[in-house]
Amino acid sequence: MIDLMAETPSHLSPSSAAAFDQCPRRWRFKYIDRQPEPSHQAALVGSFAHRVLEFLCGLPARHRTTEQAKALAKELWTDFADDPDYQALELGEAEARAFRWQAWLSIMGLWDLEDPARVDVVSTEQKVTVELGGVPFVGVIDRVDRCADRLVVSDYKSGTLPGVRWRSDKIQQVMLYAAALARTADEQPERARLLYLGQRILDVAVTDRRIEEAEGQLSETWTAVSDACSTDGFEAKPSVLCGWCPFVSQCPEGTAELARRSTEGTLPAHAPAAALVA
């Protein structure tokens, strides 16, 4: 079905590392086989909101207003609406209007958390390329701020705030950004924040121990990726998340998991793949 001895990737990002930890089989389909994933409306809503906030927070502080955000959203929408991923959604007029409204609520959600005009923004969408824990790492930091003369890493999230037991991987991702910034800017950030737009801020202190733990986990993932590439050992990790996997029909373990959960009644009806076993 797939060739052995897949080539080890040139680097890991927070998203690719988290994807491998979640399910090596799905990671193989996406990052090695390069199979396309269908466009997801929620992800695209977040992408557009991120884009608007990037431009907004790149402006002088006095211009970071809701009126300016509205003007930017209108200006950026034309190009976004022509994007193939958005076009693939094939939204009708009413659905497109609902999409824009959902994106606008995400954008306005920043003001529920803070006044961006009062934030000392150092950079937006800052790319970092560095070695962490012996791993070639590449990431893009949504925003770097300065507060009380100390750096703060901020990452926007447009999705639902996860429960406490599901937050550790999100915190680890933003801690990797803090570690990368410490190496490239020669200054360790004091705080790392996850801004769940319209909901709340998860704010954690950046400590040597937390950075060491994040780098250690990244190193373990890199070793596992390298081993899997050399042995074709991309094992599936069946879970409720199989219901959202676009490659589940190609995965015997995943389809078996869907069938089991469907029989037990533990497969969410709104999971995209639920129709496969309906």
Concatenate the DSSP letters of all residues of 46-85 into one string: HHHHHHHHHHHHTS-GGG-SHHHHHHHHHHHHHHHHTSHH
E-only strand ranges, the chain = 121-132, 135-147, 150-157, 191-196, 200-205
Question: What pTM was estimated for this model as a whole?
Answer: 0.89
pLDDT class for 271, splitting at 50, 70, 90?
Answer: confident
What is the C-alpha separation between 260 and 247, in angstroms, rounded? 18
Beta strands 191-196; 200-205: pairing state? antiparallel
Q: How large is the average pLDDT for residues 9-32?
A: 95
Q: How high is the pLDDT of residue 213? A: 94
Q: How large is the average pLDDT for residues 53-75?
A: 97
Query: Is the pLDDT score of 202 beyond 70?
Result: yes
Q: How large is the average pLDDT for residues 220-247?
A: 94
Of the chain, the percentage scoring pLDDT greater than 90 comes to 82
Report which DSSP code applies to 37.
Answer: P
Q: How large is the average pLDDT for residues 94-111?
A: 97
Query: Is the pLDDT score of 4 beyond 60?
Result: no
pLDDT class for 274, splitting at 50, 70, 90?
Answer: low
pLDDT class for 37, splitting at 50, 70, 90?
Answer: confident
Q: How large is the average pLDDT for residues 147-157?
A: 95
pLDDT, mean over the chain = 93
Query: Is the pLDDT score of 2 beyond 50?
Result: no
Q: How high is the pLDDT of residue 81? A: 96
Residue-wise pLDDT for 154-167, tens only, equals 999 998 888 887 78
Q: How large is the average pLDDT for residues 241-249?
A: 91
Query: Is the pLDDT score of 278 beyond 80?
Result: no
pLDDT class for 5, splitting at 50, 70, 90?
Answer: low
Q: How high is the pLDDT of residue 268? A: 85
Sheet holding 135-147, edge to edge: 121-132, 135-147, 150-157, 191-196, 200-205
Torsion sign across C-alpha atoms 199, 243, 264, 234: negative
| CATH no., domain 120-227 | 3.90.320.10
Whose CA is closest to 238, among 203, 211, 273, 197?
273
What is the C-alpha separation between 251 and 238, in angstroms, rounded? 10
What is the C-alpha separation between 23 and 32, in angstroms, rounded? 13
209 within 8 A of 172, measured Cβ to Cβ: no
